[in-house]
Chains A and B, each alone.
Chain A
Amino acid sequence: MSKRYHILILFILSAVLLAACSSTPAPSEGQTKKKSVNLLFNFAASSLDPHVDTSYVSLRAGITETLVHLNDTSLTIEPWLAESWESRDGQLWTIKLREGVTFHNGKSMDGAAVKASLERAMKDSLAVKNALRIQSIAANAHTLTIKTEVPFPEFPSELVHPNTSIIDVTDANYVKKPVGTGPFAVASFTPRTAVDLVRYDGYWNGAAKLDSARFSFNEDANARSLALQSGTADIVFRPEVETLSNLEAIPGVKVESTSTFRVHQMTMNLERKALQDIHVRKAIDALINRQAIVDTILRGHAEAATGPFPSTFSFAPDYPDKKSGLDAARAHLEEAGYTEVNGVMQKNGEPLTLKLLTYSARADLPLIAQVFQSDAKKLGIDVQIQLIEIPEEYMAAKRDWDLATYSNLTAPRGDAGYYLNATYHPNGALNFSGADNDHLTALIDKLNATVGQEKRSVIAEQIAKYVDEQVYNSFVLHPNTLVAYKSDKVLNWVTSRSEYYMLTNELDVK
């Protein structure tokens, strides 16, 4: 090797070492320390486009806001960028916008800007178009008149959806720097790594207490826990359950476990001969040891489910007590004509065999399937587990399965309409059980035509009760969201049940 090579190698090594030794200069005397937090989230976003990105980072990071807000405590919708809304027939809506709201570029948020934002959202996102079902929008100063394609009473709830965020569409850098109305403006964005934010001083609801914030991403739970331990992150979403005791042992670290709007359910294929018998469905329901699953698989960070909706929702009914366990399941199977012969549950000489689908995208689902398989075996039921990749695809295309562990959002925006339509209406895209019951469909249609949250809750409750009576699907648990944060540094942190609202103007540091 010549001298030149030696010098080149030495130069490279020196540069690397110098870079490694360099550090950010500490603020000099007289400089006040900037207040900032780093929130580490568990999904990575490649784009900040509020109308398209399904990680909802723009809303979560306080960059954008929606017209309607979901109150995480009362679980009802409330005004946000919209001051009020009304409709007599559920089809023609008048929305009064909040005055004095400005975008990060200083422009006023008026009716024309909101109209343009909603139209752009519907143009670029089919999901938003389907969610809002808007036929026409008319803007006049700070009032919007919106006509939906059909009477659509849950329209205000749909305006909670993060993809309906209001942005200034004339500023077209949607992917890297959307211009919203929230307490934080984008300083820079590195796809799949982090978005750096600065306080927007002109925020309508009072400028943020923080000077800046970082909303970063890491999809590895262990790495997230280590980031909290190293001091890189202040708030960490969904740390590994196994590391919780380690995190709680760190002075100043607090772990919060908050219930969500999600349900893990056992979907039943009603087209299968065995499952057409309600007693078999009841037996399956009785076999699910919910509390044991919550205590062991989710280590207590979940709520055993009695129905699709968490008990705190106004439309979650009080269900009649049901017997569960092996004896109760055996009794139901006997009613269905099954008997246990030589350890095999059978009817007319045919053993009861069930094919149970599961998928690993949610790590607890395959474990729930295994627990069920083990309990069913005690009754002489042979449960064959099949791991699939895309559950929606498989369940819709193939009907050779009996049961499937599946995870559903049931009331993401405080209204039951989404889940009940998608899961129990014959046309619903998530109606994998094949439920097609005239009475149930009529109830859902009635819900779809009912205006007013209270009236809707009554009908939603009726539907939930009917689904429970018919045992269309079994509901296992409502998983919690886990957040670990430095309570000795971070002030006013609230773990949002909807998981929509994270960085707020109230968030502060000591």
Chain B
Amino acid sequence: MFRILSRRFIEVAVFLLVITFISFLFVRLAPGDPVLTILNVDDVSVTQEQVEALREQLGFNDPLLVQYGRWLFDFARLDFGNSYITNQPVMEMIAGGLPATLELSFGALIVMLLAAIPLGSLGALYRGSWIDQISRGVSLLGAAVPSFWLALIFIDLFAVRWGVLPPMGRDSIVSALLPSLTLGLAITGVYVRLLRSSLLDALSNEFIRAARSRGLSEMRIFFAHAFRSSLPPVMTVFGMSLGSLIGGVVVIEVIFAYPGIGKMVVDSIRSRDYPVIQGYMLIMAIIVFVVNSAVDLSYRYLNPEMRIKERKNISWR
């Protein structure tokens, strides 16, 4: 047990080290730095000497490895630094925005599940029929429509014309409905198609024929056998796309003025606010790692075959 845990810990440490180093390199190698933003050159007269002095003071003239080493040393002491632009502690900024982004992401996932499961299931159950055509049409439309356009259409309908939902902000749970709906529908298309094809594969399995020959009802066969065994590939994509979902809510956050971290990070990248970018990459890496571990665990629950194989492997040892 101790060996497994220590191995897992080393894996996580190496993973985080690689991710933070790569992100550090990418950001530092991109042209520009935050010096001009810190000095607010658009509004305050500064000299080139002052610009250079600040660059030197912040250590931007040091070799990249030295700069990364400095960040790593602070990170080892759990000091993530302060934003160059706002002076706020990085972790405080991320902690302030993360709940809203997670809220939006999970809201979108609920919308996606409510739309994708019926559409994907019906498409598979009535393959080739008009129901299937509608399901495929909806998934195609979901993938084709840009989310910013969908957002503005929804604001126009729900806020301007019908006045039933707020157009922006985060004053109550109601405020999350429109952005979640927009984001959820934008990602639904992929899952409808994936679930449909996965269900069709599952329905062609031998154990389904065996279940039919035992006289089980079609509904029972579908939900208890086919649906469950079709989930692993969907879960794989889900795990892979959750990171991009959390990182990809920027447009929605901007249009709905939702106080998440997506927009905060885009602004940080634009102003080269290195500590914030590094902190964000670290948190995102941890989230992706946790989600992927959870997906791995869910396979064992969804796929009995995997559990049996694992038990056999253990008994052979």
- Chain A residues packing against B (C-beta within 8 Å): 1, 12, 16, 19-20, 22, 44, 46-47, 49, 52-54, 124-128, 130-131, 161, 163, 175, 190-194, 216-220, 222-223, 226-227, 229-232, 389-390, 392-394, 397, 408-409, 412, 417-419, 421-422, 425, 427-431
Contacts and interface: CB of A to CB of B under 8 A. Distances in A.
Given A193-B169, A223-B256, A394-B31, A161 B43 contact: yes
A218 B169 CA distance: 9
A220 B254 CA distance: 6
B45 A422 contact: yes
Contact of B257 (A175, A194, A408): A194
A429 B39 contact: yes
B254 A16 contact: no
Given A175-B88, A216-B257, A223-B167, A44 B36 contact: no
Contacts of B46: 127, 130, 422, 429
11 contacts: A1-B223, A54-B37, A54-B43, A127-B46, A190-B259, A222-B255, A392-B41, A393-B33, A409-B42, A422-B41, A427-B47
B170 interface: yes
A229 B54 CA distance: 46
A217 B172 contact: no
A46 B45 contact: no
Contact of B167 (A124, A163, A232): A232
Nearest to A9: B114
Nearest to B52: A429
B202 interface: no
Contacts of A227: 159, 167-168
Contacts of A125: 40
Nearest to A19: B173
B224 to A, nearest CB: 9
B93 A46 contact: yes
Contact of A223 (B37, B41, B257): B257
Contact of B174 (A22, A44, A54, A226): A22
Interface of B: 31-33, 36-51, 54, 85-88, 93, 96-97, 110, 148, 151-152, 155-156, 159-160, 163-170, 172-174, 177, 223, 253-259, 263-264, 267
Nearest to A214: B169
B44 A131 contact: yes
Residue in B39, B151, B168, B263 with the greatest tally of chain A CB atoms within 10 Å? B168
Contacts of B163: 230-231
A126 B47 contact: no
A393 B31 contact: yes
A261 to B, nearest CB: 11
Contacts of A131: 44-45
A222 B264 CA distance: 20
B45 A417 contact: yes
B26 to A, nearest CB: 14
A54 B40 contact: yes
Nearest to A361: B270
Contacts of B47: 425, 427-429
Given A191-B259, A219-B254, A428-B45, A229 B39 contact: no
Contacts of B254: 218-220, 223
A175 B167 CA distance: 26
B97 A191 contact: yes
B257 A44 contact: yes
B160 A393 contact: no
Nearest to A174: B87
A49 B92 CA distance: 15
Given A52-B86, A216-B169, A226-B167, A192 B44 contact: no
Given A1-B223, A226-B167, A230-B160, 17 more contacts: A52-B86, A126-B39, A175-B88, A191-B264, A192-B97, A192-B259, A218-B255, A220-B254, A223-B151, A226-B152, A230-B167, A393-B36, A418-B43, A421-B45, A429-B41, A429-B46, A431-B48
Contact of A19 (B164, B166, B172, B259): B172
B256 A127 contact: no
B48 A428 contact: yes
B152 A194 contact: no
Given A54-B43, A230-B167, A430-B41, A124 B159 contact: no
Nearest to B161: A230
A491 B258 CA distance: 29
A130 B44 CA distance: 7
A226 B156 contact: yes
A427 B32 contact: no
B275 to A, nearest CB: 14
Contacts of A392: 36, 41
Contacts of A223: 151-152, 155, 167-168, 254-257
A403 B45 CA distance: 22
A124 B86 CA distance: 9
B309 to A, nearest CB: 27
B176 to A, nearest CB: 9
Contacts of B39: 126-127, 130, 429
Residue in A163, A397, A417, A422 with the greatest tally of chain B CB atoms within 10 Å? A422
A127 B43 contact: yes
A226 B151 CA distance: 11
Nearest to A219: B254
A431 B45 CA distance: 11
Contacts of B160: 226, 229-230
B270 to A, nearest CB: 8
Contacts of B93: 46
B105 to A, nearest CB: 16
Given A393-B36, A429-B41, A130 B50 contact: yes
Contacts of A126: 38-39, 54
Contact of A216 (B165, B168, B177, B263): B168
A438 B114 CA distance: 72
A391 to B, nearest CB: 10
Contact of A193 (B38, B172, B258): B258
A290 B294 CA distance: 61
A316 to B, nearest CB: 19
Residue in B39, B40, B44, B96 with the greatest tally of chain A CB atoms within 10 Å? B44
A66 to B, nearest CB: 14
A44 B263 CA distance: 10
B174 A47 contact: no
Nearest to B175: A193
9 smallest A-B Cβ distances: which pairs? A127-B40, A427-B47, A230-B159, A393-B32, A390-B32, A218-B257, A421-B45, A230-B160, A193-B259
Nearest to A38: B169
Given A192-B263, A232-B167, A429-B50, A52 B32 contact: no
Residue in A22, A393, A394, A419 with the greatest tally of chain B CB atoms within 10 Å? A393
A191 B167 contact: no
B152 A409 contact: no
A20 B174 contact: yes
Given A53-B86, A220-B255, A230-B167, A409 B43 contact: yes
A230 B155 contact: yes
